[in-house]
C-alpha cells in the first residue's frame, strides 16, 4: 500500500486505533484528526478531552488501568479546589492540569489550537501528525427533557443519565476545517479515510458536520473504512448503546452502517457480532470480521494492519 | 488590653507572627492586612505569594520543613509543564495550583481580591479576618543594572542575584486601600498596628506606599510596634541583609528603626541582638528584647503575647 491515511478519532477507543496506525505507518503517511466537539472551558482552561486522550495514548502516557487520563496521575489540585468550594465535578488530575495550563497559555498568546497541539505532541515525542478537526470552537450539545445540555455536563456531571432526544454541534456550520485536516483531504495521494471506533453520533458526527467535510470524504476514489464501536451488540465504554436506543435506533452494526450511509465503503466488526456480516454485505458494504477489542499494543497493531489491508496493506 | 489590632504582614516570617496573633486574639479583635506587591500573573493565574503564605499558616496547611507552600505538596503539574516546554521557573505545587485556579475563577467572575480572599480563608476554616492591602494591582519592582525587574523575576527566577539599586511599587499611587484595611484603620477602638517580621523594603513598604496609609498609621493615639526581621544581624530567610547592603544601609536594627522613622513607637528585637537596644532607645523608641525566632506554635503565641504586652497585654 502507498498513499496517505486520514484517521478521524474521538477519545479513548479511537485513540487506541490511532496508536495502532502510528505503529504501522511512518509519520509522513498518516494524519489523525480529532473531534473537538467535547471541548469545553473550565476553570479558565480549554479542556480538549479527545485530543488529550489521543495525545496521551500516542505518547504512551495514558493510564491503561483507569482507562482514561494520564498514568501515575494524582488529584491534589482537585482535592484543594473541592475544599475551597470550587467546581470539582470534572475531575482533572495534576499531570493533566499541567497540560491544560500550558495549552491555555499558548491559546491566550493567540496561537491556534492546531499550533498548540503540534507543540504539545512534539514536546511529548509524538512524530505523527495530530490535528484538531477545527481551530474554531464547535460544541456538542444534547437535547434532554431539561433542555440542551453542554456535552461535558451531560457526559460527566450528569453521568449520561438524561435521556437524549437529539444532538447538535454548536458552531459547526461556521467552523473551518483545521489546516492539517484540510491539507490531508486535499492530498492527491489520499488512500483512505479511517473512522476510528468512536461514537458515531457524539464523536464522529461533529467532524462530519463541518462544512465541506462530508462532501470531501464521500468523493469518489477515496475509500472510507470504519471500525464499529459495538462489541457483542453494545459499546465497550461510554453511552453509545443507551444513546442509540434513545434516538430510536436499534443497537446494531446495521444501524451504524445506515448512519454512515453514502460515506462508508467498508465496516470492520467484532467477531462476537459475526452474525451481522450477511445483512451488512446485503447493503453493498465490504465487511471484515475480526477481533476489534484492543487490549494491548499487539491488538492495536494487528487491527490497524487489518484496517489497512482493505487499501492494500502495509508495505 | 481591649481594642482592635491591625497586623501588617508579608510572607513566611510575617505569617508566623500572624498565626501567633490569631492564637491569642479572638477573630473580632484582629485584622491581618497582607502585602500584595509580590503578586503576579503567571500561567493565566493571579499568584499572591504573601496572602497564600498567611492563609496556609493560619489554616495549619503550611509546610514547616520546606518553609514555604503547602504541606504534603506534589509537583506533578509543574513537571508536565516543564516537559511540554512551558514556564517552570516558578514552582507551583499541585495543591497550591488548586487554590490559584479557584481564586482565578472568582476573579474572572469580577469578584474583588478581598471577596475572594474572604471566601478562600473561610473555606479553609480561618475565622480571623485576612485582607489584601488593596484590591487594585500594585507590583513591586526592583532596579538592577539590567533595568527594572518584576519582583518574582528578581526573587525566584534570578534568585535575588542582581544587585538592587532601588525599589518601586508600580500602581501604588492610584491603588485604594482594601475595604477591610480601611475599616480597621478607621476603627475608633484601634489599639495598635503591628508590623510583622517581614522585609521593610520589600514587604512592608508596598503597604506604606498606598495613599493614606502612612498618615493613618502615624496618627497620634495608635501605637505602632514592629518585630524586627533581623536575627543575629542578618535575616533568617530572604534577601533582606543583601538588599540593605546594596541600598547603602548598615544591616542593623538601627537602620530598620530609621527606615520606619516617624511611624514607629516600639521595636521588638531578637535576644541575639540585645546589644542594639541602647542605641535604639537613644532614638526615643521603646525596645523589647526577646526571642523572635518562631520555631513552633508555642514560640509564635509567646511572641504575639509579648508584642501585645506593649498595648496592655491579652486579657
pLDDT tens digits, one per residue of A214-223: 999 988 889 9
Q: How far apart are CA A178 and CA A112, in angstroms?
A: 9
Helix, strand or coil, per DSSP, at residue B152 = helix
Q: Look at residue B165 in the predicted model and tell me its pLDDT.
A: 96
Q: Are A9 and A107 in contact (CB under 8 A)?
A: no
The average confidence (pLDDT) of chain B is 95
Say yes or no for a CB contact (<8 Å) between B105 and A87.
Answer: yes
Q: Closest by alpha carbon to B300, among B197, B207, B192?
A: B197
Residue A8 CA to residue A21 CA, distance in Å, equals 12
Looking at this predicted complex, what is its ipTM? 0.94
List of chain A residues whose C-beta atoms are within 8 Å of the C-beta of residue B94: 74, 76-77, 80, 94, 97
Q: Across chain A, what does the average pLDDT equal?
A: 95
Contacts 24+ apart (CB under 8 A), B116-122: B117/B51, B117/B55, B119/A84, B119/A85, B120/A84, B120/B55, B121/B55, B121/B58, B121/B59
Number of C-beta neighbours around residue A90 at 10 A? 16
Whether the pLDDT of residue A28 is over 60: the answer is: yes
Neighboring chain A residues of B98 at a CB cutoff of 8 Å: 76-81, 83-84, 86
Which of B45, B73, B123 is opposite residue A84, by nearest beta carbon? Answer: B123
Q: Which residues of B touch A44 (CB under 8 A)?
A: 44-45, 101, 104-105, 108
Task: Residue count of chain B, please give it.
Answer: 315
Instruction: Write the pLDDT tens digit of every residue in A255-296.
Output: 999 999 999 999 999 999 999 999 999 999 999 999 999 999
| Shortest alpha-carbon distance between residue B137 and chain A (Å) | 20
pLDDT for B264 = 96
d(CA B223, CA B219): 9
A–B CB contacts, 8 A cutoff, strictly below = 116
Those residues with Cβ within 8 angstroms of residue B98's Cβ, 6 or more apart along the chain or in another chain: A76, A77, A78, A79, A80, A81, A83, A84, A86
What phi and psi, each to the nearest 5 degrees, are found at residue A313?
80, 175
Q: How far is CA A238 from CA A156, A202, A233, A241, B240, in A?
A: 11, 10, 14, 8, 58
Residues of chain B contacting A108 with CB distance shorter than 8 Å: 44
Spatial separation of the C-alpha atoms in residues B60 and B55, rounded to whole Å: 9
| Separation in Å, CA of B187 to nearest CA in chain A | 30
Q: How far is CA A242 from the centre of its chain?
A: 19
Residue-level pLDDT at A242: 94
**CB pair distance less than 8 Å for B43 and A101:** yes
Supply the pTM of this predicted model. Answer: 0.94
Annotated domain spans of chain A? 4-309
Interchain proximity B124–A84, CB inside 8 Å:
yes
Could you say which DSSP state residue A314 is in? -
Q: For chain A, how many residues are written?
A: 315
> Hunting for cell 518584576 — which residue is that?
B150
CB atoms within 10 A of CB B148: 15
Find the closest chain B residue to A43 by CA distance: B105
Cα distance between residue A9 and residue A307, in whole Å: 14
Check residue B1 and give its pLDDT.
Answer: 61
> Any residues with CB less than 8 A from the CB of B29 and at least 6 apart, and which?
B3, B4, B5
Distance between CA atoms of B33 and B121, rounded to whole angstroms?
13
Q: Say which residue the cell 514536546 belongs to.
A: A123
Distance CA A294, CA A237 (A): 12
Q: What was the pLDDT predicted at B231? A: 96
DSSP-assigned letters across all residues of A234-287 = EESSSSHHHHHHHTT--SSHHHHHHHTTTT-SEEEEEGGGGGGHHHHHHTT-EE
Per-residue DSSP letters for B114-128? HHHHHHHHHHTT--S
Nearest partner of A81 among B76, B55, B78, B120, judged by Cα:
B120
**B70 within 8 A of A54, measured Cβ to Cβ:** no
The pLDDT tens digits of the residues spanning A42-83 come to: 999 999 999 999 999 999 999 999 989 999 999 999 999 999
Helix (H) or strand (E) holding B195: strand B190-195
Maximal CA-CA distance, chain B: 59
Which three cell numbers mark A208? 462530519
**3-state SS, residue B31:** strand
Query: B4-309 architecture in CATH?
Result: 3-Layer(aba) Sandwich (3.40)
Burial of A125 (0-12, 13-18, 19+ CB in 10 A): exposed
For chain B, residues with pLDDT lower than 70 are 1, 313-315
Give the separation between CA A196 and CA A30, rounded to whole angstroms.
13
pLDDT in tens, A146-175: 999 999 999 999 999 999 999 999 999 999
| Strands laid side by side in the B286-290 sheet | B129-132, B30-34, B4-9, B190-195, B224-227, B266-270, B286-290
Amino acid at each position: 500500500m502507498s498513499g496517505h491515511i486520514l484517521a478521524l478519532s474521538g477519545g479513548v477507543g479511537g485513540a487506541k486505533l490511532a496508536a495502532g496506525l502510528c505503529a504501522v505507518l511512518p509519520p509522513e503517511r498518516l494524519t489523525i484528526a480529532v473531534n473537538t466537539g467535547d471541548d469545553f472551558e473550565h476553570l479558565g482552561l480549554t479542556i480538549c478531552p479527545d485530543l488529550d486522550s489521543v495525545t496521551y495514548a500516542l505518547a504512551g502516557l495514558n493510564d491503561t488501568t483507569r482507562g482514561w487520563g494520564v498514568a501515575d496521575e494524582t488529584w491534589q489540585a482537585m482535592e484543594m479546589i473541592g475544599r475551597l468550594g470550587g467546581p470539582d465535578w470534572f475531575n482533572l488530575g495534576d499531570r493533566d492540569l499541567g497540560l491544560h495550563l500550558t495549552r491555555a497559555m499558548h491559546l491566550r498568546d493567540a496561537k491556534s489550537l492546531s499550533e498548540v497541539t503540534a507543540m504539545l505532541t512534539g514536546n511529548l515525542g509524538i512524530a505523527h501528525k495530530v490535528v484538531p478537526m477545527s481551530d474554531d470552537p464547535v460544541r456538542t450539545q444534547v437535547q434532554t427533557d431539561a433542555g440542551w445540555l453542554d456535552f461535558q455536563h451531560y457526559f460527566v456531571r450528569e453521568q449520561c443519565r438524561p435521556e437524549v432526544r437529539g444532538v447538535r454541534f454548536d458552531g459547526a456550520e461556521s467552523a473551518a476545517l483545521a489546516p492539517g485536516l484540510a491539507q490531508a483531504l486535499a492530498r492527491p495521494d489520499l488512500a483512505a479515510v479511517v473512522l476510528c471506533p468512536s461514537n458515531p453520533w457524539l464523536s464522529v458526527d461533529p467532524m462530519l458536520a463541518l462544512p465541506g467535510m462530508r462532501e470531501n470524504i464521500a468523493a469518489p476514489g477515496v475509500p472510507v473504512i470504519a471500525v464499529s464501536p459495538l462489541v457483542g451488540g453494545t459499546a465497550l465504554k461510554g453511552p453509545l448503546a443507551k444513546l442509540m436506543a434513545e434516538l430510536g435506533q436499534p443497537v446494531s452494526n446495521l444501524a451504524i452502517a445506515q448512519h454512515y450511509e453514502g460515506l462508508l465503503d467498508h465496516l470492520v466488526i467484532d467477531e462476537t457480532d459475526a452474525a451481522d456480516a450477511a445483512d451488512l454485505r446485503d447493503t453493498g458494504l465490504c465487511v471484515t470480521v475480526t477481533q476489534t477489542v484492543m487490549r494491548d499494543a499487539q491488538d492495536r497493531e494487528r487491527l490497524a494492519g487489518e484496517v489497512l489491508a482493505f487499501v492494500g496493506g502495509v508495505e
